[in-house]
Structure 1
């Protein structure tokens, strides 16, 4: 095994997922002289293709990778009633990880200081004047990258201690039907016409890609994931009995889990080493959405590096995290009925305001008005209780695929 001489970059980004590639693109766009992204080579260490969804308005920086957009959103309550809303000026957007990776790689390859290194990052540590990343390349050679700042997006080996820890776990089918079965303008965000677990909640999720093609998912918020066989059974029931699709072909599948926890994620782990993405707390605890927070955080980090200081701002505000902690606890204790809670939010709140609320972009007055539409007594009891609960380590949830 041979070792290459140390290479120097202004910034090294570890991990080539949404967080790592988004940050790298922002950095080269903002004028950072040299950025190296270290991402795993082809093989079992690379995550399977994933789907990322978010809402946005106007033209986005990564619109070329958007596979589908929906102007209308629909929620089916547990009573079967459907509510369709128009969140204008926002629209719901879907990005597939392979298309996003191709776009990001193309931008980095065109930038004078951008580079993608296919290698396994073995160690990340602070050194005088910055940090270094030691890597093993596909041919077995080792190399050392040194930089002023290192941003690490790799998944944590274990989640930090939390008062409440649930997981959003799911399996989805990309289905094709012989006849038109879907409305391409409407995305079904939550369909609660499925059997509910004893604690937490379950829902169907339908993203039409055309009149005869869609991503159909079964999702749960609960303490532990299911087996693949259980997901398949739930998906079959939802597709045939609830959606009434009739005959269909499954063209591909995706499966994963997303942590939903009120744990505190340290963003700085050394003078020159920072965590980003889910490892840095970018996943919204009560919804699992991550992509939009990653974009906000990436823009802020790129501006900080351009101005000569490396910082990682919090991806979510304190009020949003406090409200999420209360909701997670209320769901986990069974004090609120999850399907009724989320259905009521959509029925009683203007859609654009609700999406801004879910994104942590509402004012205290707007949040107060939204709070009045929730079950006040159990939420108030939980809000009083949460600050006094101890944080503890929870067993790590396991799944056969990575998060979307």
Structure 2
């Protein structure tokens, strides 16, 4: 891995602007697909190392991520006030990945690929259709790149019709006695007190019978205070029957992820491509991001290995983005409750179908079955409201040009959207 300490212009074939999860996955994909003839630079004010976030996702065993996983589970639980439901995910699994191994693998890929790393902020990108000038701050050099992959967090091009946030805090808990079930994760536990507007749930990702990530999450328009998150987490810990006297908090994770039907501009100019949340990788109805981010990296690696432009396809089908918009509107309007909405999806469909839908991999026939398991009247009302709002958007240019800023997380979390 080469360092750059000169202000002379640097010419490269590919510049990765932002060096977090999305860029790390791209570097690993380039290395895995044998891309050795490209000049590559990474530009980021921070050189990411260690455990600064945790991702959880579902996939099939046998991927390039297998050696990096902290844990995986063939079964998960979904709990409501009506009871606990155990879901068999076969042929999928639920998996947890911590950032340290991802960054380590990216650093090794940098070394093998001869990547130049610039530890500097990016002030501006100027795309003339042939090359992109990447102007760095702090006296750093200008980079000239044939292509730029930009994974810096960005707001949508305009606000959505519904603008929620997934926000959460998690404690890595170590117990002095066996209290966790390492064979099963808790995906969503809706027995938490529900906010006046929004959805809350807890979840548990056990690494062993004595060590687990226990997290409290809300979907909704407003953030909590630090004291609010800690109180909610303490309440969930008590709900699980965990004795605080036998627990030690080893790490704390926080995050904020956009849940909006506002459009993210995946290709703002001919030779600039956005990845991660800025490139549409975050699923609006759940906040899950990692699987789509991983797919984007794989598509970039395959394209460059074949001599094609590094432009991944849409993260999700257009019809899925529309269904997410309708679901968000129904939740925001209070027509359906979060525990009821998600509970019915998992109760009335095979878990594997629900998870494939959330990954954008279901057929239209499967999607009809999924939607028919929700409550009809509020979803019809939300569909009509969404159609009316889309019509208003077309005749209201001022609204379409407005902006919406997503709060930055201090530290990432299970579905972290920061590339």
Which bin holds the TM-score, normalised by the shorter protein? over 0.9
Cross-structure match for 1:245: 242
Matches within 5 A, 1:39-78: 39-41=44-46, 49-78=52-81
RMSD: 2.1
Quick one: distance in 2 between partners of 1:88 and 1:133? 45
Are the equivalent residues in 2 in contact too, given 1:165–1:394 (CA < 8 A)?
no
Judged with a 3 Å threshold, the aligned counterparts in structure 2 of structure 1 residues 347 and 394 are, in CA distance, closer, same or farther, namely farther
Alignment correspondent of 2:43: 38
C-alpha separation in 2, matches of 1:288 and 1:48: 21
Shift of 1:48: 7.9
Residue in structure 2 matching 1:217, options 215, 218, 240: 215
1:258 is the counterpart of 2:267: no
Partners of 2:47 and 2:19 in 1: CA distance: 12
2:45, 2:405 → 1: CA distance?
23
Please report the TM-score for the alignment, with normalisation by the length of structure 1.
Answer: 0.92
Gaps of 5+ in 1: none
Encode CA deviations 1:209-249: one digit per residue, 9 max, x unaligned: 11011101110000011011100001111102x10101211
What is the alpha-carbon distance in structure 2 between the residues aligned to residue 272 and residue 353 of structure 1?
Answer: 36
Distance 1:339 1:381 in 2: 19
Alignment of 1:13-162 (within 5 A): 13-30=16-33, 31=35, 33-41=38-46, 49-79=52-82, 81-111=83-113, 113-127=114-128, 129-136=130-137, 140-156=138-154, 160-162=158-160
SS at match of 1:386: helix
Equivalences for 1:3-402 in 2 at 5 Å?
A: 4-30=7-33, 31=35, 33-41=38-46, 49-79=52-82, 81-111=83-113, 113-127=114-128, 129-136=130-137, 140-156=138-154, 160-240=158-238, 242-246=239-243, 247=245, 248-305=247-304, 306-389=306-389, 390=392, 392=399, 393=402, 396-398=405-407, 401-402=410-411
TM superposition shift of 1:124: 1.7
When structure 1 is superposed on structure 2, of 331-340 and 310-319 the one drifting more is 310-319
Q: Once structures 1 and 2 are overlaid, which stretch shifts more, 54-63 or 308-317?
A: 308-317
CA contact (8 A) 2:277 2:289 kept: yes
CA distance in 1, matches of 2:403, 2:381: 24
Distance 1:42 1:223 in 2: 32
Aligned residue-pair number? 395
CA contact 1:177–1:245 (8 Å) conserved in 2: no
Superposed displacement of residue 29, structure 1: 3.6
Question: For residues 128 and 378 of structure 1, what CA distance do their matches in structure 2 show?
Answer: 47
Shift, 1:47, TM fit: 11
- For structure 2, the 5+ residue unaligned runs are 394-398
Q: CA deviation at 1:63?
A: 2.4
Aligned partners of 1:65, 1:115: CA distance in 2, in Å?
Answer: 25
